[in-house]
Structure 1
Amino acid sequence: MEYHKDRFEDHSLILFKKGKPIALFPANQRENVLYSHQGLTFGSLIVSKNSGAHEVYQLLEVLIDYAKNEGFKEIIVKAIPPIYFTKQTGELLYFLTIKGELQSRNLVLAIDYTKPLRIHKTKRKHYEKNKSIGFEIEETSNFTTFWNDVLQPKLDSKYNAKPVHSLAEITKLQNEFPSNIIQYNVKLEGEILAGITIFKHKKVVKSQYGATTVKGESLRALEYLFMYLIEKFKDEEMHYFSMGTVDADNELGYNPGLLKQKEELGCVCFTQDIYKIPIA
C-alpha cells in the first residue's frame, strides 16, 4: 500500500491473541471515521483460517472497542468479495449485520471457471474470425506504451479522467510483485491497438485496466484480447477471472451497457457489501 501512502492517512491494525497475530484490518482514517482501506480492491477484517465464528465475533468487538477508545464515530467495513475467499465463510457478514447496517452493495463481475463457460455466440464468432487478421499478443512487464498511447488518452478523451495508478506507480508495483502484475497488449504490424493490465491473486485474475485505440475499437482488438485471456486463464486452471465493477453515477447505480458487455464475455454477478458500524 506504500505507493499511495500520500493519498491516505493509514490506520491499519494487527489484532493479537496471546502475543500472536490472528487478524488484520487494513485501514485508513478520514476525519473521525475508520475505513476498511479505501485504496484496496478488497480488505475487510482478515482473520486466521483457524478462527471459529465466536472468535470472529470477539475480534469485531475488539475492533469496535478500539475505535471507540480512539474517538472514531463510525467504522466502514468493506467485505471481501467471495471470489477471493480461501475458505468459504459467512461469519463476519453475519456479525456485521448485527453490529452495523448495510451501507451499499457493489456488483462484481467475474467468470466462474468452475462452471461451463457461457460466452455469447457473437463474441465467439468474432474471435474466431479475427484470428485471421494477424493480431500479435504481447506479454510484458513494461507499461509505458499502453499507458501513454492507449490508456491515458482513452480515459482523458472519454471521461476526462486519469488512471488510478500513474505510470510510475504501476511500474513500482510490478517491480515489487513481478508475478502478480502483468501487461498484455494486442498489436497489428507492430502498432499497439489495445491492452489489459492483469492483477493475479492466487487462483483469481482481475483485469485492472482495459483500453483500446480508435483503430483498435474498429477491429474489436480489446474484445479479441479478452477472449484470448479468458481461454489462457481457463487453461491455467484459474478459478475466477474478475472484470471488476460496473458501478455508475446514475439513477440505476450501474452501467447497463458495461454490464451486458461483461455478461456476454461470460461473467456472472457477485456482490461486495460495505457496512457502517456506528460507535456509541
Structure 2
Amino acid sequence: MKADIEQRFDKWTAVPGWRVEIYSPDRQYEWDEFVAQSRNGTFLLCRGYMDYHADRFTDCSLMIYYGRQLLALLPGHLEGQTYCSHNGLTYGGLLLHPHITLVRVQAALVTACAFLQCHYNVTELVYKAIPHIYHRYPAEDDLYVLTRLGARLAERCMSSVVRPEMALPLQKLRKRQLKRARTCGLTWVEDDAFHLFWPLLEENLLRRHGVKPVHTLEEIERLHRSFPDRIRLFRVCEGTETVGGCVVYETDCVAHVQYIASSERGRHSGALDLLFTHLLTVRYRQVPYFDFGISTEQGGRILNEGLLFQKEGFGARSVVYDKYVLELDKPAAGERTKHD
C-alpha cells in the first residue's frame, strides 16, 4: 500500500520503507535474474561478466529493496571516498525493475547515497548512465533524478549508431572499398579463433593509440566461453590470413562493436567495408541498433574525426554516453516531493 511521505531533503537520509544490502557471491542467481528482467540491464551487468576483473576493483554493488521487494540494483565499486558505477564497464548506473516508478527511483537513489555516505564515508557518486539504445523499455528515470539532486554532467562521449532497418545509404568511398574487397576475393567468417585476431588488434591499438586492449586474450576467451551467444568474433580473411575483423557484443536491443582492427593489407583492400556491409544488411538486419562504438577520447573532449568519418560512411549517426558526478558531502537538492 502506498504511503505518501512529504519531506524536504535537508541531508542524505534513507527514505522510510527502503533498505540497501551489499551484493555477495551467494546472491549471484538473484542478481542475474533481476538483470534479465530489468528495464535496462544487459549481460555486461551480470556477475559472470562483471567479476572477470574482480581483482582490479573493490566491488561494492548494491541491492535496493522497498520492503521485501528488490526494485533496483547499483553495480559499483569503491575508490577511496568515491563510489563508481562502474569504471570497469562501458556503462553502469541503476538497473530498474519493470514496475518501479519515477518517484520510487528517486527514493532508491537517495537511500543508496545515504547508505554509502553512512557506511563508507563516500563523498561523491560517479555514475555512467546506460545509453537509451540499450533499454528494453524506457528507463531514463535516473537521468531526471540525478539532475534534480544536483548532479553535474562530467563527461559526454559520442558513439556512432545505425538503425539497420532504415540505414542511410553507404557513402561513395565505402561503396568503392566494398567493390575492391569483392574484387580481391576477401571472405569473412564467424568463429572463436580469437588467437588469430588478437595480435592484429594489439598491433593496431599500440601503433595508433599507444594502448593495449582492455581485455587480454585469455580474458576475452574466458568471457566468450561464459557468454557464447552474446560475444561474437567476425574475421575477414585473404586466403588463410586474417586481414581484419571485429568483436561484437550482442544485447537484446544492440549489436555493439567492442573491438575493430585491420592490417595494412586489409585497409587497402576494403576488409572492414565487406564485413560491416554484411553485418548491417544481413547478420544484424533485424536488430534495432548497431553501435560502432565511441570516436572520442579524454571523456569526449577530443573527437577522432578520421574514425568518425569511417563510421558515418556506413550511415551511423550520434548517440551519447554520459558520465555524471553527484556530490554527497552537500545536502541533496530538490523541492518538496513525495516518496513511497
* Same fold? TM cut 0.5: yes
Q: Which has the higher mean CA deviation after the structures are superposed, 27-36 or 255-264?
A: 255-264
Q: CA deviation at 1:249?
A: 4.1
Q: CA deviation at 1:129?
A: 4.3
Q: CA deviation at 1:251?
A: 9.6
Give per-residue Cα distances to partners, 1:97-142, cap 9 Å, x unaligned: 1111211212121112353434213312431443232111111122
Q: Name the amino acid aligned to 1:131.
A: R
Q: Does 1:31 align with 2:80?
A: yes
Aligned with residue 129 of structure 2, among 74, 79, 83: 79
Q: Would the aligned equivalents of 2:202 and 2:212 in 1 still touch at CA under 8 Å?
A: yes
Q: Which has the higher mean CA deviation after the structures are superposed, 54-63 or 89-98?
A: 89-98
Q: Would the aligned equivalents of 1:67 and 1:75 in 2 still touch at CA under 8 Å?
A: no
Tell me what 1:46 maps to. 95
Report 1:222-241 matches (<5 A): 222-235=272-285, 237-241=286-290
Report 1:60-99 matches (<5 A): 60-70=109-119, 71-99=121-149
Q: Does 1:102 align with 2:150?
A: no
Instruction: Name the CA distance, whole Å, in 1 between partners of 2:91 and 2:157.
Output: 12
Tell me what 1:112 maps to. 163
> Measured at CA, do residues 14 and 252 of structure 1 come closer, stay the same or move farther in structure 2, by a change above 3 Å?
closer
Q: Would the aligned equivalents of 1:112 and 1:268 in 2 still touch at CA under 8 Å?
A: no
Q: Secondary structure at the match of 1:165?
A: coil
Q: Would the aligned equivalents of 1:119 and 1:265 in 2 still touch at CA under 8 Å?
A: yes
Instruction: Name the CA distance, whole Å, in 2 between partners of 1:273 and 1:252.
Output: 12
Q: Does 1:187 align with 2:237?
A: yes
Q: Would the aligned equivalents of 2:160 and 2:316 in 1 still touch at CA under 8 Å?
A: yes
Instruction: Name the CA distance, whole Å, in 2 between partners of 1:208 and 1:86.
Output: 20
Q: Secondary structure at the match of 2:197?
A: helix
Q: CA deviation at 1:157?
A: 2.6
Q: Name the amino acid aligned to 2:158.
A: L
Q: Secondary structure at the match of 1:209?
A: strand
Tell me what 1:169 maps to. 219
Aligned with residue 68 of structure 2, among 3, 19, 22: 19
Q: Name the amino acid aligned to 1:38.
A: N
Aligned residues: 278
Tell me what 1:4 maps to. 53
Q: Would the aligned equivalents of 1:142 and 1:171 in 2 still touch at CA under 8 Å?
A: no
Instruction: Name the CA distance, whole Å, in 1 between partners of 2:300 and 2:229.
Output: 40
Larger radius of gyration: 2
Q: Does 1:58 align with 2:107?
A: yes
> Measured at CA, do residues 86 and 250 of structure 1 come closer, stay the same or move farther in structure 2, by a change above 3 Å?
closer
Q: Tell me, which stretches of 5 or more residues in structure 2 are unaligned?
A: 1-49, 330-340
Q: Would the aligned equivalents of 1:194 and 1:221 in 2 still touch at CA under 8 Å?
A: yes
> Measured at CA, do residues 144 and 20 of structure 1 come closer, stay the same or move farther in structure 2, by a change above 3 Å?
same
Instruction: Name the CA distance, whole Å, in 2 between partners of 1:19 and 1:250.
Output: 39
Instruction: Name the CA distance, whole Å, in 2 between partners of 1:269 and 1:81.
Output: 12
Q: Would the aligned equivalents of 2:155 and 2:300 in 1 still touch at CA under 8 Å?
A: no
Q: Which has the higher mean CA deviation after the structures are superposed, 247-256 or 42-51?
A: 247-256
Q: Which has the higher mean CA deviation after the structures are superposed, 116-125 or 46-55?
A: 116-125
Tell me what 1:137 maps to. 188
Q: With the length of structure 1 as denominator, give the TM-score of the two structures.
A: 0.94
Give per-residue Cα distances to partners, 1:145-180, cap 9 Å, x unaligned: 1112x1112222332221100000000000000000
Q: Does 1:247 align with 2:296?
A: yes
Q: CA deviation at 1:3?
A: 1.2
Q: CA deviation at 1:250?
A: 9.9
Q: Tell me, which stretches of 5 or more residues in structure 1 are unaligned?
A: none
Q: Secondary structure at the match of 2:208?
A: helix
Instruction: Name the CA distance, whole Å, in 2 between partners of 1:145 and 1:54.
Output: 50
> Measured at CA, do residues 214 and 121 of structure 1 come closer, stay the same or move farther in structure 2, by a change above 3 Å?
closer
> Measured at CA, do residues 197 and 251 of structure 1 come closer, stay the same or move farther in structure 2, by a change above 3 Å?
closer
Q: Name the amino acid aligned to 1:206.
A: H
Q: CA deviation at 1:218?
A: 1.6
